[in-house]
Every structure is written in structure tokens, then in C-alpha cells.
Structure 1
Amino acid sequence: METDKPLMVVAIDFGTTYSSWACSMTHEYAENPTKMYVRQWIGGEHLSPKAPTTVLIRPDGTTLEAFGYAAEDRYAELVEEGQHKLWYYFKRFKMKIFDNLELSRYTMIEDITGKTLPAMTVFSRAIESMRNDFLSQFKSKLEGRIEDRDICWVLTVPAIWSESAKQFMRQAAIMAGINNEYLRIALEPEAAALLCNYLPLKMFTISGSQSTFQTFQKGSKYMVLDAGGGTVDITVHEVVGGGKLKELHKATGGAWGGIAVDEAFRQFIIKLVGNPVFQKFTIENTDDMLDMFRAFEVKKREMQLMKESTVTLRIPVSLIRIFEKDTGEVLKETMSQTEFSDKIKLLNDKLKVDGTIIRGFFSKSVQSITQYVKSLLKSKQLEGAKSIIMVGGFSECQMLQESIVSSFPEISIIVPQDASLAVLKGAVIYGHNQDAIVQRVCRYTYGIAGAKPFIQGVHKEEHREETDVGLLCDNMFIKFVEVGESIKLHERRGEHYFKLNMENQDTYSFPIYISSETSPTYVTDEGCRILGCGTIVNLDKAVPLKDRKVEVSIIFGGTEMEVEAKEVHTGRKSNVVVDFLL
């Protein structure tokens, strides 16, 4: 299979709160890039294009029982039967690897009851479930006509994720049965931007005077605000033309997604009934707890910034009963003694809440996003940017949309229809057109450790080393690229030379360093850390040691870093294994 021209692309959008898959054939893409099949999941009485990122694993700790809505419903059954205690139930676990500097293949994560399993097992089971779900749905259509090598798989990750987190997801996908050779990683805001390039005007909601035609014409600059459940990813693009884009500002963002609103709602309920009651309710009436949060999800998207004076929420009868049985008090009367006494009112199972309380659930996330966008718009790279494209599930929230619109009246705010599906659909397009992002911006300064001639009074004495070629300064940061630098797709940088030091040496390992500083001097400087380790294997041992030298270069500009090595005396390229999961 030519990796840039697959017969079929299958994209998996692995989200913090919701996940799904979509696909299209190459001939369909050629006719209409936005024509694709999106999986529909059954949740209760509703069809949804996404399923909760929820995994239920059997007591053996390895076998997947169910994923998505099926996992939620099956676990509720186990709880009702009192059989759940040995099972593993994971919800919203994607954030466990966000910004985790100690992430490894052996990282453990806790399920909702505190039991642990390897994170790699949990992530791979979720991906495996979606892979198998695709194969089961398309088996009859594909059998005999398409082979494994004809499918390009695309897995989405936030643009702000580290190389180790990307490699973790790749390894999880491989463990799930996806062939590494046919797997591509797509950055979420980039994927969404690719979709928006192809959508007609009628598929957008626009606030402001600028049209989408102006936004996507050659030379135009815009910001992509990808607000998901866990993270908010922000990138800035310029339209190159021909369906291609270049990044103008390094990917940035933070953990300000929609789950922060859910957590604020959860803490509100806990304040009303107390933590012991809430925990007992969660365990004994899991199905009612799920219904309560599913109903809040609908309210969350509909809430508007100024309009609602009162919001009605449903409080499960089972929660009220547990409270009154365990405390001996009447919930309605107890509420009158809380800090919310004049702003809430319980009528049977309906809780009427003053709109200011509900809006408070959103304040931290919305303010963090708005303030961060304001700071970015002051940067030089965003001069001339006239549009903000809002994508991701949290971008469908009226509160967030209205806050962005009111905060930036001079900028067009563009929201595509089904913003929560923009990343998924865009990932399918990315699989067909992997060279669409022609330039990216480095998030860090990258380099390796090396030695340079020691200069008295300039270099630190602690790094002075006497060698057979004279005085050297070791642990110098040999810079390949620097933070904020623009790099073209597949651009090769570095070309640093290593001398081998043993006659029978056929491997060579070296650490790769990153720093948030532009020009660190030593790899031991504050802010420098090891990103990963490169290992060159199968080196030629047939020539004398003095003639053996290896040239190493790093290839930037893609969604994942690549390292190449070449033996200088033969010109033969060597395989380099790069491990970011140390």
C-alpha cells in the first residue's frame, strides 16, 4: 500500500469523554472529501455519533467486557446484582497521560473504585473495541476485496501532547491489533481545520462580518480553538492554497475542557447531600447516576450566558432516599440550611437552581480559555488573523460560544455544524491527504548532548574533560531546532557526528533533550530534560574503529519526530529505534 494513497481510511477519535470512528473509501474522497460513514451508537433511547470513553474489563484484568454505552449499562447491571467489585471500570481516563512526565509502558491507572491496571492495557482495549467494531460492521462489504494493508488507520491526539504520549497511543494501537506500518497519528486541531476547508458556507454558524470564504482563501490566517472534554488545543494556521495549511504558532493550550464543568456539578451535588451519601449512591444506583450526568450533559450544551434565570435539574429519587435514610433528615429542609438556601428549591425530584450557580460551573474553564486566547492574539504570529474556528464537543456549549463572541467582537467566530465531530471527520481527510500541513512550529528546543573545545572563562570547570584530542567541554546542548522555529514538513535537521569507541560495537545509544529555552548551554541546565533515547542498531563492524563514524539527523515537521542515522564510511542508512517511554 502506498501510505499516502490508501484504498480506505479509518479514523479513530479517542476523546476524554467521548470516542468514535469514521471511514471513507479513496474514490469517495476524490468525489467529495466530506463524504464518509460515521458510526452511530445506541445510548438508551437515543442514537449518538459518539460513545462514552468508558471501558469495562473482566476480573482477569485483561479481557474486555464492553466499551461505551454498553460498558456503562453492563456495569450498572453488575452493581445491581452485587457482582461488580472484582471488575475494572474506567471512565474518562485519557487525561491520565496528559502532561505526565513519568509516563512509561508500565504506568498504572486507577478505575473508579481505586483498583489498578496498566494504562497500556486500558487504552489498547478501548482502541481494540473500536477497531473490532469497524471490522464487524464492514466485514461483509470488505471481505475478498480489501486486505489489511489497504487500510490506513488514523488515531487522533491533542496537538499539545508530548512525544511520549503520542508514542504511548501508537503502542496502544499496535497492541490493539493495528499494524504499525499503516498507522498515522493526527493532531486534533489540525484535523478539524482540514475538514473546515471543505465545508460549504451553510455548514457554519458565523458571528461577525467575515465569511468562511474569506477565512479559507489563500493567505488568510485563523485560530483553531479545539475545546474537548479534557484539553483545549489552540493552533494558528495560514492557508497556503490547494487544500494545504501551515502552522504559524506552536500548539498550545491546557486542561480546561468540559469535564471541569461536570466536576463542578458533581461537587455541587456533594455539597447538598454529603460525600458519604453521594459515594453510596454512585455505587448502589449507578444507572441513576449515569442518567443524572447524561441529563446534565444536555443542559450543559444548552446553557446560555445571560438568559436562564432558573435551571431545572433532575435529582434521582434513589439519591433522595439514601440521603434521608442515612441521615435521618429531610433533604428539602437540609437544603435550606446550606450556602445555596436562597438559590435552590426542591420539588419532588426536580431541583430548581438559580442560573448564577449553574453559570458558576462554567466560569473557571470559560475564563481560562478566554484569557488565554486574549494573550495569544497579542503575539506577532497572529497579526492579521481575523477568525477563530471553534471545534470540539465543548465548543457546542452555548456558554463558551457566547463568551468568545462577546470577548472578541472584532473577530469572526466560526462554528461548524456538529463541531464535536470536526476532529473525527477531519482525521479521515488527513488519512487521505497526510501532506496537507506543510509547515509546523516547534514547541521546544530539541538537541542532544555533545562536546566542544573547552574555552577557559566561558565554560564551567565542572564540564571540563581532558581527551586525546585536547580539552573539551562535555554535556553541551547541541541544538537541532529551537522553540518557536518554523519547520517544513519532513525537514531534516542536525547532522551531528558520533565516533564509536569499541571495535565490536554494533549499536549506539544517545539521549534526546528538550528545553523551553531558546539556546540552552548545557543539557544539565534548568528546564532541560531527556525527551527520549535513540538507539542505532546493526552498525557495520567490518572496518577499523578509527574509520567508523555515524551521522545522526532528526526529521521534524510531521506529527511525530523521526531520527535517521547514516554510517559515514559506507553511506548506508541505519535503523534508529527511538523510545520516548523511558
Structure 2
Amino acid sequence: MDYDDTRIVIGIDFGTTYSGFAYANKVNPEIITNDTWPEQIGVLKTNTVLQYDEDFHLVDSWGSPALAKRQKKKDRGKNPPKPVELFKLHLGNIPEDKKPILPPGLSYKKAITDYLREMGKLIKETVTMRWPNVDFMTQIKIVITVPAEFSEKSKSVMRECTYNAGLINDLHTKRLQFTTEPEAAAIYCMRTLSEHFDNPVGTSFLIVDCGGGTVDLTRRKVVSRNKLGETTERTGGFCGGAYVDQEFIKFLETKVGENAIDLLRRKNYNQFQYMIQEFCRHVKLLFNGEKTSYKPYDFDLDDVCPAIKQLVTGSYKDKLDDADWSIELSYRDVKEMFDPVINKIINLIKEQLNSTKDRCAAMFLVGGFSESKYLQTRVKQEFRQRVPNISVPKQPMAAIVRGAVDYGLNTKVIKSRVLKYTYGTKTSPLWQSGDPKHRKEKDGRIYKFYTLAEKGRHVDVDEEVSHSFSVARADQRSMDMDIYVSRNSSVKYCDEEGVELLGNFSVQMQDTHLGINRSVLYTLRFGEMEIRATAKNKQSNEEYHTSFRLEFD
């Protein structure tokens, strides 16, 4: 597709706990953030939650309507299908035991696809209502944001799910692009730098994107008017707002017992989830860290989660009977739920600030969790001596999705990026003295990793790296081109720990009359968030273009 055909750019922020979208017309690029959702009006995001039928095949509801509701007395004892949530965490590189358990027979890919399909229906309805003559499949560009730590494989899974959801009609279309969440947030925040600096060119600033499941960080520098460069490698961690909820559950386990919580999660998930919602509404969202303003909250289990009374046993039950099944959340209790999560965020910020000697002139907190007054206070207390301007921009929850649209309207706003992987291919030079003997092949060759681009390298948008590779045999009629990635800076062999095959394809070289005097020019382009490769037969000038097809789990 020619980008000149693009009329509308849509940004999608598919989050761990909340998701949203925004859009703009290229002719009149006013960015509009959607604030109308099923059973919700006036909010910039809706919950990343699905409610299925009993077989977990068809979606009954999504977003806020899919959340667990307070169970009426007449319905007590019934156990409706539980909402499905936090499924985005399955894309992250986290231990399996930390990933949410999905219902039997429901894969995380199906959940992601189903959610994108439901959101896609609303997007199409919203956009076509405003611009009836727009062809959704040929005149719309979609930009989806992903966490900084997402691998190429995770982005490819997102592409596959977007295709299966019907938002694109070609799996490898350039109509779908990705940008990282901190990159989109940086674009959004760049617009507000003028509030702090007369001339922001040359200013280095840090973006801390605090979402529900992940926290992403990146240092950016305004290299010229409305152009951003990346000054450090993007970093991130799984320490978003949802982990405060997990600390709340750990606290409850000390009051009712781990077994009771485990049974509640498995047998009465709706009540389990509603209990978390009540904690968020009445405690988490209001906590500002000031002891003098905090009022202890009485958590009435009989009202919020009646099913748990049948699951608690022993001394836990005796104590709760005496307390009339009410648990007090003290200031110290709540602070201890926040602190482990916020401490991780502070450590991530320290690592970023220490990673370069350049002075950081500003720090922006964005994302849903950034609205936490306690988080804001802790960050400012910790870093106000090092960073003169620490702020939360307007509508921090919409920063990412609005920045994604901005990026889609002008991808040139990003001047450079820092590679977080080492990229290379497999070569087969002749084995030489000094090479490991056990790696010598029968034909006298050895398979090695050839580095095309090293981790930490600064690459400009649309920058290419190329290398010519010659055939190994005179009768060779094709050359297999691989691309491997590793988080390590120095790689010698493709089978080392941490080296992953990203993809491969073959270049036909049927004309053998030149023998070994034949070569292929292999080129990687890092202009977009997805790696694109080209291989050119230098004798026939025939070119092969590819977006790597990955092996999906």
C-alpha cells in the first residue's frame, strides 16, 4: 500500500489492565481520544477484560461490562463464568508461574484476538461514523503500542492476533506498525517541553510509563525541532499498578489463609475479582502516602465477598468471627502494599539515570499508575535533586495512545533508536586452527554467528546495514539467509544460550557458471519497530523482501 492512500491514523494502546484508542485525519490532524465505551462514557480507557459464554468460545461482553459485579443475595451460590483478564502478560518474558491462569481450552492468543476484534468493531463504527467514505482496509494506518521489553516474537504474535481479529487483511501489511509505549509517550511529552524550556532543542528527558502490568523507561533527546533521538537503551520491568493488587491479595492471605484465597480464586473468581475492584476504588486510588490524611478502611468480607466465609477454617475463622468478618486496612498495611512495587520503579529510574553522563533535564510520569499521588511523591522525593523538572502531563492515561497517533502521522518524528538486541546471521567459513575442534564439520567448515548490528548501537530511522555473502560451493543453487537475535553484545555461535532464530528465507542462485564467484547482498532495515530484510542476488539483481514469519507457540 502507498502511504499516500492513508487518510486516517488509528493508535491502539492495548494494555494489561486498561486499553484505549485514538484517531486523526491526516488532512486535519486533530487527535481525538475515544471516550465512549460499552456502558461507559467520559473515560479515556476501558478495562482489558473479556466475559465469555460457558464454553469460553463466544464473547458475551468486553471492557467494563465484563468485570465481576457485586453478587446479589438471591444469586449467591451461583458461579457464573469468570472474567478473563491480564492475558497480555502472556506475551512478556516473565516466569510461567507469574502469568495469569487462563480457563482450560482458552489460549492467550485467542483472548488477545477476541479483545482486539471487539475493540475493532467499535473503532470501525466510530471512524466510519465520522468519515463515512473511508475504506477501512485500504485507507487506514494502525499503530499499536507495545512494552519496551517485548521481543520481536511478541510483536509478531500481536501482528498475528490483529490479522485474525480482522483489523488488517494482509498479515505482513505495512498498514500495521508498532511503536513502543515509552516512545509514544515521549512523542506526546515532547509537545509539553515548551512549558518548561524556552528552547527545548538539545534537552534530554526521561519518560517513565507506569501502566497496569509493566513500567517502561526511555531517555530521549530533542535533536532538532520536533524530532527525537534515543539516548539510552529502553528498559522496563513488570512492576505496574496491578502488582499493588497482588500485594493486597498477599495481605488477605495473612488474614484468611492461603488455602481460602486459592479456593476462592478457583471456585468463586467473580467474587475474588470484585473484592480487588473494591480495594482499588476505596483504598488504592485514594492513597497518597500522607499518614495524617489516611483514614483506616474497614473491609467487610461478608458484604464484598460472602463466598469466602465457607472457605476459611481454623484459627483464621475464629478471629474473623470475633471481628464480624471485617478486616481493617491500616496506613501501614496499605503502604506496605505499595512500597515493593514503587521501590522497583525507583530502581529502574536510577538505572536509567546512571546509564549515561548526560544531564537529564526533565522527567515525565505517564500511564494509568502515574496518577497515584503516592508514586508521584516518592519519585519526586527521590530524584528532585538530580532532575529539576518532574511532572505528570495532562491526561497521562492517554499519553501513549495519543503519541501513537502522532507517530503514525509522522514517523520521522523519531530520528534514532538504540538497538536492544544484537542481530546476526549464520555463516560457514573454513575451520581454522584455534577454532573449537568439536565444531568442525565434515566438509571442513564451521558454523559461526556473523554480527550485522550490535546491541547498544544507535541507528537512524531507515538506516540500513548490509553485508555481502558468497556461496560456499561452486554448484550451490540457493543460499539460506537467517537472522538471529541475542540480548548479548558479543556472540560467536548461533547455538549459544540466549541466541534465538528470528526467521529465515532462501535466495535462488540457479546460474552456477560463475562457480564460487557469486554473492548475495543481505540488508537489514531498522526504520520501523519490526525488522525488515532484503537479500539481493548480485549477479541477477533479483531481490527478495521479507517480514520474518516466526514459529508461534
- TM-score, structure 2 normalization: 0.87
User: 1:306 matched to which residue of 2?
Assistant: 290
User: 1:443 matched to which residue of 2?
Assistant: 420
Paired residue for 1:273, among 246, 250, 256? 256
Sort the Cα spacing of 1:482 and 1:282 in 2 relative to 1 into closer, same or farther, 3 A: closer
Looking at structure 2, the residues matched to 96 and 154 of structure 1 have their Cα atoms a distance apart, in angstroms, of 21
Sort the Cα spacing of 1:569 and 1:313 in 2 relative to 1 into closer, same or farther, 3 A: farther
User: 2:358 matched to which residue of 1?
Assistant: 383
Check conservation: 2:257, 2:312, Cα contact below 8 A.
no
Query: Cα deviations across residues 217-263 of structure 1 (Å, max 9, x unaligned)?
Result: 11110111111111111111110223110111111121111111000
User: 1:3 matched to which residue of 2?
Assistant: 3
Q: Secondary structure of 1:173's match?
A: helix
Check conservation: 1:312, 1:350, Cα contact below 8 A.
no
Letter in 2 for 1:305: G
Deviation at 1:98, TM superposition (A): 0.2
User: 2:43 matched to which residue of 1?
Assistant: 48
Check conservation: 2:268, 2:307, Cα contact below 8 A.
no
Identity %: 24
Q: Secondary structure of 1:234's match?
A: strand
User: 1:198 matched to which residue of 2?
Assistant: 191
Q: Secondary structure of 2:342's match?
A: helix
List aligned pairs for 1:122-137, cutoff 5 A.
Answer: 122-137=111-126
Looking at structure 2, the residues matched to 288 and 572 of structure 1 have their Cα atoms a distance apart, in angstroms, of 62
Deviation at 1:160, TM superposition (A): 1.5
Looking at structure 1, the residues matched to 472 and 69 of structure 2 have their Cα atoms a distance apart, in angstroms, of 58
Q: Is residue 487 from structure 1 mapped to residue 466 from structure 2 by the alignment?
A: no
Letter in 2 for 1:68: G
List aligned pairs for 1:199-348, cutoff 5 A.
Answer: 199=192, 212-213=196-197, 217-278=200-261, 289-298=272-281, 299-307=283-291, 308-318=293-303, 321-324=306-309, 334-335=319-320
Letter in 1 for 2:9: V
Deviation at 1:367, TM superposition (A): 0.8
Looking at structure 2, the residues matched to 327 and 444 of structure 1 have their Cα atoms a distance apart, in angstroms, of 49
Deviation at 1:545, TM superposition (A): 7.8
List aligned pairs for 1:149-164, cutoff 5 A.
Answer: 149-164=138-153
Q: Is residue 365 from structure 1 mapped to residue 341 from structure 2 by the alignment?
A: yes
Work out the number of aligned pairs and report it: 540
User: 1:464 matched to which residue of 2?
Assistant: 440
Query: Cα deviations across residues 111-143 of structure 1 (Å, max 9, x unaligned)?
Result: 2xx413232211111111111111123433333
Unaligned runs of 5+ in 2: none
User: 1:204 matched to which residue of 2?
Assistant: none
Letter in 1 for 2:143: V
Letter in 2 for 1:447: G
Sort the Cα spacing of 1:550 and 1:502 in 2 relative to 1 into closer, same or farther, 3 A: same
Q: Secondary structure of 2:424's match?
A: strand
Q: Is residue 184 from structure 1 mapped to residue 177 from structure 2 by the alignment?
A: yes
Q: Which shifted more, 552-561 or 383-392?
A: 552-561
Sort the Cα spacing of 1:351 and 1:278 in 2 relative to 1 into closer, same or farther, 3 A: same
Letter in 1 for 2:252: I
Q: Secondary structure of 1:581's match?
A: coil
Looking at structure 1, the residues matched to 100 and 274 of structure 2 have their Cα atoms a distance apart, in angstroms, of 25
Q: Secondary structure of 1:385's match?
A: coil
Q: Is residue 38 from structure 1 mapped to residue 34 from structure 2 by the alignment?
A: yes
User: 1:95 matched to which residue of 2?
Assistant: 89
Q: Which shifted more, 539-548 or 515-524?
A: 539-548
Letter in 2 for 1:422: A
Sort the Cα spacing of 1:62 and 1:6 in 2 relative to 1 into closer, same or farther, 3 A: same
User: Higher strand fraction: Structure 1 or Structure 2?
Assistant: 1
Check conservation: 2:476, 2:512, Cα contact below 8 A.
no
Q: Secondary structure of 2:157's match?
A: helix
List aligned pairs for 1:58-137, cutoff 5 A.
Answer: 58-59=53-54, 61-72=56-67, 80=75, 89-99=83-93, 110-111=101-102, 114-137=103-126
Q: Secondary structure of 1:416's match?
A: coil
Q: Secondary structure of 2:188's match?
A: helix
Sort the Cα spacing of 1:504 and 1:465 in 2 relative to 1 into closer, same or farther, 3 A: closer
Looking at structure 1, the residues matched to 219 and 296 of structure 2 have their Cα atoms a distance apart, in angstroms, of 37
Deviation at 1:148, TM superposition (A): 2.4
Check conservation: 1:80, 1:285, Cα contact below 8 A.
no
Query: Cα deviations across residues 8-56 of structure 1 (Å, max 9, x unaligned)?
Result: 1111110001111111112331xx5xx3132333567x74221111123
Looking at structure 1, the residues matched to 331 and 530 of structure 2 have their Cα atoms a distance apart, in angstroms, of 45
Letter in 2 for 1:524: D
- TM-score, structure 1 normalization: 0.83
Check conservation: 1:229, 1:259, Cα contact below 8 A.
yes
Looking at structure 1, the residues matched to 436 and 483 of structure 2 have their Cα atoms a distance apart, in angstroms, of 22
Q: Is residue 532 from structure 1 mapped to residue 502 from structure 2 by the alignment?
A: yes
Sort the Cα spacing of 1:184 and 1:371 in 2 relative to 1 into closer, same or farther, 3 A: same
Sort the Cα spacing of 1:323 and 1:548 in 2 relative to 1 into closer, same or farther, 3 A: same
Deviation at 1:509, TM superposition (A): 3.8
Looking at structure 2, the residues matched to 282 and 523 of structure 1 have their Cα atoms a distance apart, in angstroms, of 43
Letter in 1 for 2:285: R
Deviation at 1:76, TM superposition (A): 7.3
